[in-house]
Structure 1
Amino acid sequence: MKKKVLLVLTLSAALLNACTDHVPQNPEPENPASFKEVASTDLGGTAASEISAYDPTSRRLFTVNNESAAKVEVLDLSAFPTITKLQAIDVSALGGVANSVSVHDGKLAIALEATNKQANGSVIVMNTSTLAMIKQVTVGALPDMVTFSPDGKYIVTANEGEPSPDYTTDPDGSVSIIDVTDNYSVKTLNFGSFAGVYNLLAMDGFRVFGPAASFQQDIEPEYVAISMDSKKAFVTLQENNGIAEIDLTSGTILKINPLGTKDISQLINAMDASDKDSKIALGTWPVKSFYLPDAISYFNVNGSSYLITANEGDAREYTAFDEQKRVSSLKLDPTVFPNAATLQKPENLGRLRVTSTRGDIDNDGDYDVLYGFGGRGFSIFNAANVQLVHDSGNGLEQEAINAGIYDDDRSDDKGVEPEGVTVGTIGNKSVAFIAMERADAIAVYDLSNPAAPKFLQIIKTGDAPEGVLFVASDKSPNGKSLLITSNEGDGTVKFYQTN
């Protein structure tokens, strides 16, 4: 009897060990400062990898590829870090360029501009497993970004409405709200009702300046973040230098929040203004720079809600209208700029690109204020009132300099150009990932105190990261937090994990 009991105990122990062989015992907590590249795939050349979205159900990654035709690549991550490229989704027959993708609950939304870029675009909704089309919904002109609300009820697009190169056709900038639960009914909102308060908005740095453009034509929505309760959307109006608040339930635009300017004469905002000074040196200059944010993300910390923006900067540059001028080409007011001749040398401020649309305060034909493009960093706002909680100052560029990856050739033109941003939760920490297009890198920050983010690390990416995506550990294909960058310059998709 004793031998039988011993045998049963031995077999039980062996079975227990076999069952737990692949389960980590007391797994090490993930360290958000320890991201390293664990996998990579090459989808082609320039524009072959732009924006990605991940579906945890099918374990597929969907990546926009516009290198040669409008399509969405399908990558199987079920055996991650092994990546298997499946048949791509070709949407070229349904419209023009694919600009963005988003996933929720087995549905893939693709933002597709029209073949005529100034005409209304569409959102294509597909099943992520079968790739069967569920619906094609008409939205506004040039849907540049698409996202699902957290509850999956809404699909929201930022419709940029860019003008034609000759500026003869300038469609309204708009935001479309698609109600998934109401057979994909759509409501497209323009900003015409705010035209009457433009002078007040302009006092705080909001810009409407296109040739002969109405207020609603000039507005150019860029990116959307949605509150966790799925009731409100926050939309960056990049060229206009503002953030719009939208009530998704009523389908109304509540407010436009102007973003003001960044004072480069303050030491905390010091920047390198020249690509011809043979050095990398942050300095103070008599410049005010418009923030002009691209991506925006929504997050919660300790019961409060916040927004974070990547302040890329963007200028209108068309055949018929280019707002950019170098400081060396401008006539500066001699009273405001008594040292204009020195200031306008190429090694000083002469090479810096500024806007020609503002700065002649007294309308006497010379410039009294110099307005630059982009905040060269990131900002954090209280989502309740869109009041500034933190701006990174020159901190982001200083970290790029410290890492030896700052590109001095871009000093005269928006610096590291922070374009993408997303926030993920690792353990109990909110962590920001900021994509720097010109430094080819992601900066990682701990947002536990939104008023004082803590820099954690810089991660090298492929060329010109356009999209940055965070997949939480409970949705990741291998149970660990996953960071994914879609790199427009070289067509790669890169994957990073902790520890």
Structure 2
Amino acid sequence: MPVGSAVCPQGGVRIDTGTDSNRNNNLDPSEITQSSDVCSTDDQKNFVRLATFPVCRQYEEDCDTNTETAAEIVTASEDGRTLIYTDSPAKQIGFVDIIDPTNPQALGTLVTNGEPTSVAVAGRYALAAVDTSPDFLNPSGELLVIDIPTGAVIRTIDLGGQPDAVAVSPDRRFAAIAIENQRNESAGDGAPPQLPAGYLVVLPLTGAPATWTRADVELELPGMTYPNDPEPEYVDINSRNEAVVTLQENNHIAIVDLASAQVVSDFSAGAVDLDGIDTLDERPNRVLQENTLTAVLREPDGVTWINDELLATANEGDLDGGSR
């Protein structure tokens, strides 16, 4: 749509969906079942990409390498000069200099003893969770305390299980690590319970890292799906030092007071009816948003506090559900 359109004053794009019944590779007006408008806005209201950093540049400036790499979770140092990311395929933590954000530079990598799953920053330290599990029945993991200016590991903390997400409180008093102890999807029907159970690690960050001592919070909560096998997925912390924890396969959410390391509230993520969705896999390019699903479990993955009272979840689904 051109600039000046009544629907989109700044211009935009109209997206039509439907079925190409006559197979002429176009949607004729009679074949369109749904239309939506995506309006443009001025540059001041959009994210503007300044640069891209291919992580293979950690090995070769021109990326002439066969080494498999993948940047998954990324965070920034508190001074905004360094990015720290997890690279699970290469089993390493990567560092990128963004003093000039239009020209990011490789700062090297740190090899880990397993697959890094998450990283967060507390002051001058990066806290990286690493899955060191030899198999599903014997989950293990560790938290690396990394000095960002030097890139050196100054302490390794045993987590007792397979970690997923890491979060640091806004006041830097606590870290929380979701210990998922994930299920083996190839075992039996792939469903829980598959012990050992997951839990939440609370790590007070007062004093020097050498003095930090973890506390484990059990999440075997009555009323949730598979109550004997909690699988915490993601964690976020508000300004009251309350952690919200998603238990995806359990379709449940827990609130943990970090100061006392106690669950103070928990509730089901519930179910929802979905209309106007595509439920059939008709690859490569047929999308038909005309179907309905009922009583779909939300099964949340990501979660974030909006403020100290409200939170938002990304309802990915992993076992039986997934919704908007």
TM-score bracket for this pair, using the shorter chain length: 0.7 to 0.9
Q: Retained in 2: the 8 A contact 1:244–1:256?
A: yes
Q: Retained in 2: the 8 A contact 1:140–1:173?
A: no
The answer to whether the aligner puts 1:89 opposite 2:110 as a matched pair is: yes
How many Å apart are 1:71 and its aligned residue? 0.4
Go from structure 1 to structure 2 and tell me whether the alpha carbon gap of 1:87 and 1:46 turns closer, same or farther (over 3 Å shift): closer
Which deviations, in whole Å up to 9, do the C-alpha atoms of 1:90-149 show, x marking residues without a partner? 113xxx211000012111000011242533311111111012323211224211011111
How many Å apart are 1:173 and its aligned residue? 0.7
The answer to whether the aligner puts 1:314 opposite 2:262 as a matched pair is: no
More helix by proportion, 1 or 2? 1
Q: Retained in 1: the 8 A contact 2:50–2:101?
A: no
Counterpart code for 1:107: Y
CA–CA distance in structure 2, aligned partners of residues 84 and 152 of structure 1: 28
Go from structure 1 to structure 2 and tell me whether the alpha carbon gap of 1:59 and 1:309 turns closer, same or farther (over 3 Å shift): same
Q: Retained in 1: the 8 A contact 2:128–2:144?
A: yes
Counterpart code for 1:124: L
Matched with 2:277 is 271
Find the partner of 2:166 among 146, 149, 152. 146
Go from structure 1 to structure 2 and tell me whether the alpha carbon gap of 1:280 and 1:105 turns closer, same or farther (over 3 Å shift): same
Go from structure 1 to structure 2 and tell me whether the alpha carbon gap of 1:234 and 1:30 turns closer, same or farther (over 3 Å shift): farther
Go from structure 1 to structure 2 and tell me whether the alpha carbon gap of 1:228 and 1:72 turns closer, same or farther (over 3 Å shift): same
CA–CA distance in structure 1, aligned partners of residues 133 and 316 of structure 2: 27
Q: Retained in 2: the 8 A contact 1:53–1:63?
A: yes
SS at match of 2:206: helix
CA–CA distance in structure 1, aligned partners of residues 315 and 104 of structure 2: 33
SS at match of 1:31: helix
Matched with 1:8 is none
The correspondence of residues 42-121 of structure 1 with structure 2, limited to 5 A, is 42-44=54-56, 48-57=70-79, 59-68=81-90, 70-92=91-113, 96-117=114-135, 118-121=138-141
SS at match of 1:82: coil
CA–CA distance in structure 1, aligned partners of residues 144 and 242 of structure 2: 23
**Moved beyond 3 Å, runs of 4+:** 29-32, 44-47, 163-169
Matched with 1:122 is 142
Q: Retained in 2: the 8 A contact 1:141–1:172?
A: no
The answer to whether the aligner puts 1:177 opposite 2:202 as a matched pair is: yes
Matched with 1:349 is none
CA–CA distance in structure 1, aligned partners of residues 182 and 205 of structure 2: 27
CA–CA distance in structure 2, aligned partners of residues 130 and 280 of structure 1: 50
The correspondence of residues 10-409 of structure 1 with structure 2, limited to 5 A, is 31-32=44-45, 34-44=46-56, 48-57=70-79, 59-68=81-90, 70-92=91-113, 96-117=114-135, 118-164=138-184, 165-166=186-187, 170-181=195-206, 183-192=211-220, 194=221, 197=222, 201=223, 206-208=224-226, 215-216=227-228, 218-229=229-240, 231-264=241-274, 269-276=275-282, 279-300=286-307, 305-315=309-319, 355=320, 373-375=321-323, 377=324
How many Å apart are 1:58 and its aligned residue? 6.6
Go from structure 1 to structure 2 and tell me whether the alpha carbon gap of 1:258 and 1:175 turns closer, same or farther (over 3 Å shift): same
Matched with 2:4 is none
How many Å apart are 1:47 and its aligned residue? 5.5
RMSD: 2.4
**Amino-acid identity (%):** 25
Which one has more relative contact order, counting CA pairs under 8 Å at least 6 apart? 1
Task: Tell me the TM-score normalized by structure 1.
Answer: 0.49
Which deviations, in whole Å up to 9, do the C-alpha atoms of 1:438-477 show, x marking residues without a partner? xxxxxxxxxxxxxxxxxxxxxxxxxxxxxxxxxxxxxxxx
Counterpart code for 1:97: E
Counterpart code for 1:73: G
SS at match of 1:181: coil
How many Å apart are 1:261 and its aligned residue? 0.7
Task: Tell me the TM-score normalized by structure 2.
Answer: 0.74
Mark the structure with the bigger radius of gyration: 1
Q: Retained in 2: the 8 A contact 1:114–1:120?
A: yes
Q: Retained in 1: the 8 A contact 2:131–2:140?
A: yes
CA–CA distance in structure 1, aligned partners of residues 77 and 237 of structure 2: 19
SS at match of 2:121: strand
The correspondence of residues 413-492 of structure 1 with structure 2, limited to 5 A, is none
How many Å apart are 1:271 and its aligned residue? 0.9
CA–CA distance in structure 1, aligned partners of residues 44 and 80 of structure 2: 27
SS at match of 1:100: strand
How many Å apart are 1:299 and its aligned residue? 2.1
Unaligned runs of 5+ in 1: 1-28, 209-214, 316-354, 356-372, 378-499
